[in-house]
Structure 1
Amino acid sequence: MRFESSVSIDATPQRVWEVFTDIERWPEWTDTVDSVELLDPGPLKIGSRARIKQPKLPVGVWQVTELVEGEYFAWVSKSPGVRIAAGHHVESTPAGTVARLTIDQQGPLGALMGRPLGKLINRYLHLEGQGLKARSEQA
């Protein structure tokens, strides 16, 4: 089951990327994240892990599985019966930047969880996009 949200941002792709990848500061700009604890020191890279606490959801450990500097990173969180992959895309446009957020739920419980949580997931993706936009557009 896939969920996706995009937002246009009046900022450079570099600025949006800086905000997106400074994951420990996410609670400052989105109400969808209570806390982020980076479990591996240094800049975000393939293999980096973070523990994330979100309202109404269980605490998850996310591990970066793909990263193209300045453009995209994806990470995965696993629990029994479900694998959740989240993508964070930054695309340059003539007007600035488009950020695209994706969630893919897989596994035997993925579809079962996706249906009742779908409204919450879509809301969170929208709020995260709006928070990213506001933070990225700050001077």
Structure 2
Amino acid sequence: MHFEISVDIAAAPETVWNLLKDVERWPEMTASIDRVEILDRPFGLSSRARVQQPKIPAAVWTVTAFTENETFTWESRSPGVTTTAVHDITPAPNGATVRLTLDQKGPLAPLFALLLGRLSRRYVTMEAHGLKAKAETP
């Protein structure tokens, strides 16, 4: 399964980045996240975080790529499927563009897509729009 969404945000890229990398505060931006606990501080390359979402078992995500003020990628593994999420910020004429990508690979990925694909796409969309709303709030 592959899903991608981009949103234009009328806020400085640094503002958007600071909200995006503050993963423990994501529940304040979106109902798709109940709780995030950083397991390795500071948050950056190789950090792990436990993410609890409604209707989905808690998962531990490991940061596999991290470029300050630009992007981070993290990955969660469960038997038969690896889920990768990319969070990219690029400067735009009126602020920033954020691109969120979710990919699932592995022998059970088609089953996960069938069972949770719609919910996963909904959650990523909620996260993008929640970030936009929070960043654009004075």
Normalising TM by the smaller chain, what interval?
over 0.9
Q: What residue in structure 2 maps to residue 135 of structure 1?
A: 134
Give 1:115 shift.
2.6
**1:41-52 to 2 correspondences below 5 Å:** 41-42=41-42, 44-52=43-51
CA distance in 2, matches of 1:39, 1:116: 28
Q: Which amino acid aligns with 1:89?
A: D
Give 1:121 shift.
1.4
Q: What residue in structure 2 maps to residue 16 of structure 1?
A: 16
Give 1:122 shift.
1.4
CA distance in 1, matches of 2:26, 2:129: 12
1:53 aligns with 2:77: no
Q: What residue in structure 1 maps to residue 110 of structure 2?
A: 111
**1:71-110 to 2 correspondences below 5 Å:** 71-110=70-109
Q: Percent same amino acid among aligned pairs?
A: 49
**Corresponding pairs, count:** 138
Give 1:135 shift.
0.8
Q: Which amino acid aligns with 1:32?
A: S
Q: What residue in structure 1 maps to residue 69 of structure 2?
A: 70
Give 1:126 shift.
1.1
Contact 1:5 1:129 (C-alpha < 8 Å) held by counterparts: yes
Give 1:8 shift.
0.9
Contact 1:5 1:122 (C-alpha < 8 Å) held by counterparts: no
1:48-102: CA deviation from partner (whole Å, max 9, x where unpaired): 0000000011100000000111111000000110100000011111121111111
Q: Secondary structure at the match of 2:33?
A: coil
CA distance in 1, matches of 2:131, 2:104: 23
Q: Which runs of 4+ in 1 moved over 2 A?
A: none
Q: Secondary structure at the match of 2:69?
A: coil
Q: Secondary structure at the match of 1:59?
A: strand
Q: Secondary structure at the match of 2:57?
A: coil
CA distance in 1, matches of 2:8, 2:124: 14
CA distance in 2, matches of 1:3, 1:133: 18
The answer for unaligned runs of 5 or more in structure 1 is none
Kindly report the root-mean-square deviation, in angstroms, between the aligned alpha carbons of the 2 structures. 0.9
